Amino acid sequence: MKKIILTLIISLAIVGIAVQASDLVIESKTQSYNEQENKLKFDGNVKVSVDDLKVVGNRADVSMDQNQKLDTATFYDKPYAYEVKKNKKREVKANILKMSLITKVVKAQGDTQSIVFDGKTPVVVINADEQEYDTKTGIMTATGSVTIKYKELDTLSDKAKVRTDKNGDLKDIELIGNAKIKQQGNESYADRFFYDSVTKVLTATGNTTSKAIMDNGTTLLLKSRRQEYAQEKNIFNASGNVRVWYDDYYAVGPKITVYPNKEGKPNEVYFSGRSSITQGVRTIYADKIKMTMKPKNFHADGNTRTVIKNIGSGDNGDSDGGISLGL
């Protein structure tokens, strides 16, 4: 059947609605109007264009509100929407797409995927149960089993927000709820992550845990209330009940800074504030502690105090287990 190309004023004139011309263009093989449902229906190679936003699908309908004004366009059978700004392209795929013709908000439902391209290269790939994209603010909100791939970062969370500027460039990524980030074999967990693409700083808050695999296969484990990673400087900071496990070391303090070695691996951990480090039965307390992974050692400074547990145990039973001068 002959393809029908409609501008908004023509399509609405068919059903007797007087409106002003707009940038909405709809292409399809067939169209119909259901007065009972108050919907325009389109079938066969449906294409919709609203300013920079394009939507393609096999079947769609457009609902109208009680004032007979266009409200929402719904696309079925795995449609996809895309928007191109300069050299940046954003693409959204789903089982169902809903586009508000008033707010220009696109909602994707069921097996959703959105991709931000720089030229032909995918920069950000988001998969989720549902996604919502506000074309005016440039904010993408994803909910339900959200996964994001951004350069070398792979993430998982209950919810996520991705913000872009007016040119389509990434501004920041926020992960909310049961969040996890994996990067080059290292893993971090938190209630919330926030990555600023301008400063290239990743901040984690709430029940934060980070794991780093060292060259010898040993795991460096850090837990705290807040963690921050400066990507360009490759420096890691943690604060709030910081606990560090490495080999037979266990260290505790209010704040730490971790510096890398020449290979970029975490190597020097500086504790500031009253801290402690335990190795076997020995615990050292100090105002400052430096812990090094390679070579493995530590240095305590400022009001140092050492406690060695069970120093009198393991004797032959002839004494009471304590330390004496033999008198």
Strand ranges, E, within 70-185: 70-76, 80-85, 88-93, 96-100, 105-118, 121-134, 139-150, 153-164, 170-183
The pLDDT of residue 177 is above 60: yes
State the virtual CA torsion across 193, 195, 196, 200 in degrees, nearest 10.
130
pLDDT at site 7: 33
Tell me what the mean pLDDT of segment 206-218 comes to: 89
Contact 84, 53 (CB under 8 A): no
Confidence of residue 19 (pLDDT cuts 50, 70, 90): very low
The pLDDT of residue 199 is above 80: yes
Q: What is the pLDDT of residues 127-156, one digit of tens each?
A: 999 999 888 888 999 999 999 998 888 999
pLDDT at site 322: 53
Contact 108, 94 (CB under 8 A): yes
pLDDT at site 11: 31
Q: What is the pLDDT of residues 91-106, one digit of tens each?
A: 989 999 998 888 888 8
Which of 52-56, 168-172, 271-275 has maximum average pLDDT? Answer: 271-275
Confidence of residue 321 (pLDDT cuts 50, 70, 90): low
Q: Which residues of 108-124 are buried (b: 16+ CB within 10 A; e: fewer)?
A: bbeebbbbbbeeeeebb
Give the 3-state secondary structure of residue 308: strand
Percent of the chain with pLDDT over 90: 54
The pLDDT of residue 22 is above 80: no
Angle at alpha carbon of residue 33, lines to 28 and 39, rounded to 5°: 95
Tell me what the mean pLDDT of segment 273-286 comes to: 96
CA–CA separation, 309 and 307 (whole Å):
6
Q: What is the pLDDT of residues 40-72, one digit of tens each?
A: 899 999 998 877 788 899 999 998 877 777 888
CA atoms within 13 A on the CB side of 240: 12
Q: What is the pLDDT of residues 220-231, one digit of tens each?
A: 999 999 999 998
pLDDT at site 283: 97
Q: What is the pLDDT of residues 108-125, one digit of tens each?
A: 999 999 998 888 889 889
Q: Which residues, other chains included, contact 51 with Cβ-Cβ below 8 Å and sequence gap of 6+?
A: 23, 104
pLDDT at site 312: 66
Q: Which residues of 300-326 are buried (b: 16+ CB within 10 A; e: fewer)?
A: beeeeeeeeeeeeeeeeeeeeeeeeee
pLDDT at site 152: 83
Contact 61, 41 (CB under 8 A): yes
pLDDT at site 236: 95
